[in-house]
Chains A and B, each alone.
Chain A
Amino acid sequence: MGDRQFDIYRVTADAVPVNFEASTLTEVQGRTNSFATCRVVVDGKAGYCTSNTLADEELVARAAETAAYGKEIDVDLPGPAAVAAVDVFSPETAELATSELADWGRRIIDGVKKGIGKNLPVSVRLDKNIDRFSIRNSRGVSYDHSSTGLMIMAELTDAREGDIHEVFDVEYSPEPGGVQPERMVRYLVDYYEMGREAAGVATAAMPVLLHPFAVPQFLLPLLVGLGGERIKDGTSPLKDRIGERIFDEAVTVWDDPFWAGSPGSAPFDGEGVAARKRALVERGVLKSFNHTLETAKAVGQEPTGGASRRDDGRPTPGIFNLVMEAGDAPHEEILNSIDKGLFLRYMAGSGQANNLAGEFSMGVYSGFLVERGRLTKRVKNVMVTGNVYDVFGRVAAVSSDRVNSWTDDNKFALMPYVLLDGVSVAGG
């Protein structure tokens, strides 16, 4: 037997979703999803095994069997290090009764109905999550981390053939005090009222204000381009551009594993690399890629943390949380400065264009016409197209207020409103 290294990453995810379908509480669930995934490197070759039934020794033995066929990889698993304490486990959340979640749901539904003065269906899903992670490796690393999360999704539907008016909102936090059902009610009511009338848009280039929900959808090409595998194989257009300006200087984006408001914050990643806060883009300048142990070593850089381990075994490079730096003006002020443009709350079909090249071509799922600083009508059958490196090169304003958002691959994100200049908008 030659040289052998291994690591074992375990996840136990417990979720309690409480479901209101069309204003009616219909179902309460409890779900357990656990797995352990093991990587073994034998004589420089990697094998993997994933299971929720096997003990550590068996996992290692079975992964070692596949390693004989595996790829030669050059990784040095990390040794024990001092990892930061990241406290996103709330005992209050862990002990929160389903009846309390159900009460929140009822309050949201009642508040919305009262606010709009109509009995339209409101669907609410409240999720309580308790996740436990651990990593052990052959160099003696042994870390554990737990997190809690509360997530509320609410949606109001006013359906007519050919025109469905849907308004949704999302709130999450590790702790009960961090979610604000009352704010959701206000948003749902306000956006419903503002969107009562629908309109098309003539094809033109115009200013576009992105709601924090839409910002990560536009930033998707950046996240794809930062991936260590694409740096390693040379397919990323960002590969030689560290230190170069890629966006407007108003744009600073972090991977922040220590954000207290995110259930995704953690002291270590899926490979046992200690978490650190890192600028991806600072004042428009590209600062860092996302690397696993393997991709980092292949290109002579440092692992960055943020690698995830899904149940297919192999680590993939990524981030903990996506956090964009706030700007100077409140978003209301930015909105007021727009004479004629669009406000985009959420897009349909992100990630369909040539992402790597920075391109986007998305339909508007929820958006509004802005006229003289006010949201006047909901827009229908509208597309926006362009290149993120172009439109984020012309950022006119970033708001001082930020909202909890999320990325397409389900990372938590803290985002401001972003005003872009001259975005191509195509109407139907």
Chain B
Amino acid sequence: MKNLKDYLPDRGDFPPADFWEVRLETEAQTLIRVKNGDVEAINRRDTDRGNVRVLYRGGWGFSSFNDHGDVREHIAQALDFARSVGGGDARVGELGPGEATVAARFERHPREVPLAEKLDAARSYDELVRRHPRVDSAEVTYEDTVRNSVFLNAEGRLIEAEQVFSRGIVWATGKANGVPESHGAHYRYRAGFEAFLELRDEIPEMLEGLEEQLAAEDARGGTCDVIANPKLAGVFAHEAFGHTSEADHFYRDPQKAEVMRLGRTLGSPAISIVDDPTLDPKQAGSLAYDDEGVEGRGTVLLRDGVLTGHLHDRMTAAMLGEELTGNARALTAAYPPIVRMTNTLIEPGEATLEELLREMGTGLLVKDSRGGTGGENFTFSARVGYVVENGKLTKPVKNFTLNGNLFTTLKNIAACSNEQEWFSTAGGCGRGEQFPLGVSFGGPHVWIRGALIGGR
């Protein structure tokens, strides 16, 4: 394999500029998709990419390319782009030099696993799922990615890394009264082939979830108390709150910055949210260094309802005069790093789920999200829910959405349960065209008063 470092330009190749950085990467990927016994797709993908970013008189220029040998001409190109900004006030703070080599985390490297073995595992999951009497259709996706990269910046920060990702999806579809219902077990981890083998253990619970959906009736719309399960709570933490904490959304907008001013009370005392890439190296959002070479670290975003932190890249931290957080991430070297989340979690509270249910009395327990949009006014579609009466789960319901305003909802959080579950889903996070980026999210069961349910 070629050594990416050999393609790095010398520091003397760079023009005098406020700041520059260069990234080169090469990626190998295997994708397998099995559907109802057929190998629908089996694809190998090899991609080279690189980019140069230059900050010149306060304006950014970025140029990405595919052929590593072209890096020098893209230094000139990025500088041209930065010059065409015509001056500005962008700046980065000091980071300092340093060299690091980051090793990948895996038990079985994808390169060492024969294609036939990957395929056999995918086929066996497809068969297992289709053995269930209520399943009409199954689809299994396997994907592994090995990404080698080298990063160098003007301060002499040099980081070489290998990253190994594993991603798997087992999807099952059945019908209730002729209407299809689907459910899946899936993950995206910083892991080798072993993660896909572990997915097998999640299939029985997924099939139970499908049965739950098939048995559910349509939910009625309206306003009621809800308890969001850890997966939906995590989606809320990520989509609604986390994105709002990304400093590049507000670092130049005084009104938005005032809404997100540190020290403001945004939520009830029952809610605390952290973003932390260091807690568990297996999670898709975990990282040792972000894509600007900043060490990953945890940030408490919300402590007992009070805003205590923002998510930053080097520029937003410098321009707002706050500490670095290591949240600059790029989907691939084809794109510049922007502010992104890592692992975003709601902290557990003290009550058990049973206590929350009892105290709530009447409402809806909402399990999982199938998608949605975040930001200040969010909409998440729920997979399934249970009507809660007298603190007890009664009938399952489906086909509804949970909606609300972020700030109102944060204030309406009554309590969190004492457990915490994490999810590192296959889908990933999208921001602009940079989709899907590996993140994880999670939390406890979260009781929200007076939520808007969109049903029929």
Contact = CB atoms under 8 A, between A and B. Distances in A.
A360 to B, nearest CB: 10
A162 B408 contact: yes
B59 A27 contact: yes
A83 interface: no
Interface residues of B, number: 79
B395 interface: no
A66 B256 CA distance: 52
B47 A35 contact: yes
Interface in A21-45: 21-35, 37
B389 to A, nearest CB: 22
A50 B77 CA distance: 27
Contacts of A54: 46
Contacts of A29: 61-64, 81, 336
Contacts of B89: 24
B259 interface: yes
Contact of B381 (A37, A51, A72, A349): A349
Contacts of A102: 84-86
Contact of B44 (A62, A349, A353, A426): A62
A362 B379 contact: yes
Contacts of A160: 255, 259
Contacts of A362: 379
A164 B376 contact: yes
Contact of B401 (A98, A233, A383): A383
Contacts of B399: 353-354, 359, 361
B124 interface: no
The listed residue with most B CB atoms (<10 A of its CB), out of A33, A48, A157, A357, is A33
Nearest to A348: B373
A302 to B, nearest CB: 22
Interface stretch (A168-176, A251-259, A306-314, A333-341): A306-314
A340 to B, nearest CB: 20
Interface string B224-255: 00000000000000000000000010101101
A350 B241 CA distance: 20
A102 B40 CA distance: 45
Interface stretch (B153-161, B293-301, B448-456): B448-456
B92 interface: no
B137 A21 contact: no
Contacts of A267: none
Interface in A113-169: 120-121, 157-162, 164
B278 interface: no
Nearest to B60: A27
B119 interface: yes
Contacts of A37: 43
B381 A48 contact: no
A31 B84 contact: no
Given A69-B39, A361-B381, A349 B371 contact: yes
B6 to A, nearest CB: 16
B77 to A, nearest CB: 6
B41 interface: yes
B102 interface: no
A21 B58 CA distance: 14
B42 interface: yes
A51 B47 contact: yes
B41 to A, nearest CB: 4
A120 B252 CA distance: 11
Contacts of A203: 221
A312 to B, nearest CB: 6
B394 interface: no
B65 interface: yes
Interface in B325-343: 334-336
A361 B173 CA distance: 21
Contacts of A63: 44
A235 B59 contact: no
Nearest to B264: A161
Contact of B115 (A69, A313, A426): A69
Interface in A393-428: 424, 426, 428
A31 B252 contact: no
A272 interface: no
A299 to B, nearest CB: 16
A31 B432 CA distance: 15
B63 A349 contact: no
Contacts of A381: 377, 403-405, 452
A27 B456 CA distance: 45
Interface string A293-317: 0000000000000000001111000
Contact of B180 (A21, A161, A357): A357
A49 B376 CA distance: 41
A349 B179 contact: no
A372 interface: no
Given A28-B82, A71-B40, A314-B40, A162 B407 contact: yes
B223 interface: yes
B19 to A, nearest CB: 13
Q: Which of B86, B90, B405 has the most CB of A within 10 A?
A: B405
A235 B173 contact: yes
A357 B179 CA distance: 7
Interface in A347-371: 348-349, 351-354, 356-357, 359, 361-363, 365
A28 B61 contact: yes
A95 to B, nearest CB: 15
B377 A365 contact: yes
| Residue of B74, B89, B336 most packed against chain A (CB within 10 A) | B336
A233 B88 CA distance: 56
Contact of A52 (B66, B82, B221, B378): B66
Nearest to B65: A32
Given A30-B64, A159-B255, A313 B41 contact: yes
B45 A71 contact: no
Interface of B: 31, 33, 36, 38-49, 59-66, 74, 77-78, 81-82, 84-86, 88-90, 115-116, 119, 137, 173, 179-181, 221-223, 248, 250, 252-253, 255-256, 259, 266, 334-336, 370-373, 375-381, 399-401, 403-405, 407-408, 452, 454-456
12 contacts: A28-B85, A48-B41, A48-B44, A159-B259, A161-B407, A164-B377, A235-B137, A314-B41, A380-B405, A381-B404, A381-B452, A383-B221
A-B pairs, 9 with minimum CB distance: A352-B381, A22-B252, A349-B379, A363-B379, A383-B454, A27-B60, A313-B43, A28-B81, A48-B43
Given A162-B405, A424-B456, 20 more contacts: A25-B59, A27-B61, A29-B336, A50-B43, A50-B46, A51-B45, A69-B119, A71-B38, A158-B255, A159-B255, A235-B137, A348-B377, A349-B380, A352-B401, A356-B180, A361-B454, A365-B373, A380-B377, A383-B221, A428-B223
